[in-house]
Amino acid sequence: QECIPWRKLWEVLNWAVDHDLNTIQRLNQRLARGDWANIVRESDEAYANDVAAAAEQIVARRGEIRIAIVAGPSSSGKTTTTTKLSLLLRERGLHLVPLTVDNYFFDLELHPKDEHGDYDYETPQALDLDLINEHLIALISGEQVWVPFYDFKTGRQQRNHTPMQIAKDEIILIDSLHGLYAPMTSAVPAEAKFKLYIEPLLQMKDDRGEYVRWTDLRLMRRMERDATHRAYDPQRTLEHWHYVRSSELRNIVPYINTADVIVNSALPYELPVMKRRLQESFARWAVQYDHDPLREDAADRAKRVYSLLSQVSDGGPEEVIPGDSLLREFIGGSVYQV
């Protein structure tokens, strides 16, 4: 219960009620009225306002903050959010300099494995947390460090790969699943850190009166992103998702309320988009996994998401979705480098 950001959820629910988007039925009614373009615009504005409010908080603590952390579970929209945040801060004379913590992965043979023999990239214990802390302290002290490089093809880390040093008007950016995981930045004084948490906190009820699950939104986003940008089979994403969730529940969710600001990345219009792109696949998976004892989790998720998408009406043309929309990070066509 203490992990739930109640205040933010109340704010998001209020917005949803005000915009007639708090149930799938109401979303469908707005779509039937030809409101597609307005739904897209209103949803994008709400998200942009959240990011702008975060930027203002950082500006207000200019000189004190040396590290900005953008954290959140898989496919919550960290990439677009960090880009938008960077642009807003640049206008105010502050510059975010990314430190890619993925480069701090241990060599692959040191990673934990699951019962299917898959390596677990979803856990912070796969990262060299001691080296990350050592480098952060050196950087905020004005020193130069040599950042390692992790080669995902070979599964090996090359030490001392890239020199890095930051100036006085620069803030280190950590964009990471596990940015709020305390041991990742434990050596850095609390006042030098700004912590942003992002998740699609959709407040919308389905036809049974149950709230749409945020994890289902992220699963669909990840499927689309992996298929669009990484040539990764969406079916494997579904089969792997329970590892993603178990790591999130251990290493991300407990820290939500340690964040300075929470950004809601849910876009009500993503449901009609995902219906068009994924409903047939989920219908197939719901049948395929139905009696597979090793894939109970995939079966449950497939059935639930198929039921959800079946309730949603068709949306309008995707051309209406602007290139700077967070959803473009997942479906392609983003004006940002994602």
CA distances 146 to 8, 134, 149, 151, 164, Å, are: 39, 11, 10, 16, 6
DSSP single-letter state for residue 72: -
Nearest-angstrom CA–CA distance, 310 and 101: 39
Nearest-angstrom CA–CA distance, 266 and 43: 8
Which positions of the chain have pLDDT values less than 50?
Answer: none
Spatial contact of 97 and 172, defined as CB atoms under 8 Å apart: yes
Spatial contact of 258 and 5, defined as CB atoms under 8 Å apart: no
Measured over the CA atoms of residue 156, residue 161, residue 162 and residue 166, the dihedral's sign is positive
Q: What pLDDT sits at residue 126?
A: 86
Instruction: At 98, give phi and psi (nearest 5°).
Output: -70, 135
Q: What pLDDT sits at residue 54?
A: 97
Instruction: At 23, give phi and psi (nearest 5°).
Output: -140, 155
Measured over the CA atoms of residue 249, residue 14, residue 301 and residue 102, the dihedral's sign is negative
Q: What pLDDT sits at residue 123?
A: 79
Q: What pLDDT sits at residue 223?
A: 96
Residue 198: beta bridge partners? Answer: 263
Q: What pLDDT sits at residue 271?
A: 98
Q: What pLDDT sits at residue 113?
A: 66
> Helices then strands (H, E): number in the chain?
10, 7
Would strands 261-264 and 95-98 be described as parallel, antiparallel, or unpaired? Answer: unpaired
Q: What pLDDT sits at residue 228?
A: 78
Which of 277, 279, 331 has its CA nearest to residue 303? 279
* 152 Cβ contact list (under 8 Å, min separation 6): none
Inter-helix orientation angle 270-288/296-311, to 10°: 140
Residue 119: beta bridge partners? Answer: 113
Spatial contact of 284 and 338, defined as CB atoms under 8 Å apart: no
Q: What pLDDT sits at residue 243?
A: 84
* 23 Cβ contact list (under 8 Å, min separation 6): 204, 205, 206
User: What's the chain's Rg over C-alpha atoms?
Assistant: 20
Nearest-angstrom CA–CA distance, 227 and 229: 6
Q: What pLDDT sits at residue 154?
A: 87
Spatial contact of 315 and 273, defined as CB atoms under 8 Å apart: yes
Q: What pLDDT sits at residue 115?
A: 61
Q: What pLDDT sits at residue 134?
A: 97
The pair of structure tokens assigned to 3 is 């992990």
Q: Among the residues of the chain, which ranges form H helices? A: 6-18, 24-32, 36-60, 78-91, 129-140, 214-229, 234-251, 270-288, 296-311, 328-331
Spatial contact of 276 and 25, defined as CB atoms under 8 Å apart: no
The pair of structure tokens assigned to 251 is 């290493």
Cα torsion 178, 182, 184, 187 to 10°: value is: 160
Nearest-angstrom CA–CA distance, 259 and 18: 27
Tell me which amino acid residue 201 is.
L
- Whole-model pTM? 0.92
pLDDT in tens, 54-69: 999 999 999 999 999 9
Spatial contact of 231 and 158, defined as CB atoms under 8 Å apart: no
Residue 98: beta bridge partners? Answer: 173
